[in-house]
A = this chain, B = another copy of it.
Amino acid sequence: MKNRGLTIGQIGERTGLATSAIRYYEEEGLVHPFRTDAGQRRFDRSDIRRLSFVMIAQNLGFTIAQIREVLRGLPEGRTPSKADWARISKRFRRDLDQRITQMEALRDKLDGCIGCGCLSMKACALYNPADGIRRKGTGPRYLMGDSPD
């Protein structure tokens, strides 16, 4: 193995990600592997954690763009420390808290609201739950509990 580091295949094994997904994540700026003299990707061991973070964030419903933003909070030159990770995880925590609050509010309004006969959905709390759940743009929108099957 030339130039040391982990190959994309090895990273794939460790993380469970398809190599195609990892290449896509690089394209999207979520990982920055270096290259061998021959042009093959080589990853740092810390990239495993980085990609794991990406997977978790995906599971939490974050978009690639959002994850990229969050990962900007990590240092570039050195391997991120536990404190680095803890710092950026706070954003997740805030987001989760917000979502939970939102969902609880929705749940509490559900029975009274569905089928209530509101003529204007603009006045209905269920119609536009304070942004955040519904993604911008198109594409599949499933939240944590829903796998597309």
Known A89-B110, A115-B86; contact A55-B142, beta-carbon cutoff 8 A: no
Whether B96 contacts A103 by the Cβ 8 Å rule is yes
Contact of A145 among B59, B99, B115 (CB under 8 A): B99
Known A92-B110, A114-B92; contact A144-B121, beta-carbon cutoff 8 A: no
A98 to B100 CA separation, bound complex (whole angstroms): 11
- Size range of the interface on A? 35 or more
A92 to B103 CA separation, bound complex (whole angstroms): 11
> Does A84 make an interface contact (CB < 8 A)?
yes
Contact of A100 among B15, B100, B139 (CB under 8 A): B100
Q: Which residues of B contact A129 (CB under 8 A)?
A: 59-60, 144
A80 to B80 CA separation, bound complex (whole angstroms): 57
Whether B127 contacts A56 by the Cβ 8 Å rule is yes
Residue in chain B with minimal CB distance to A125: B56
Q: Using a CB–CB distance below 8 Å, which chain A residues touch chain B? A: 13-16, 45-46, 48-49, 52-53, 55-56, 58-63, 66, 80, 82, 84-86, 88-89, 92-93, 95-100, 102-104, 106-107, 110-111, 114-122, 124, 126-130, 132-134, 137, 139-149
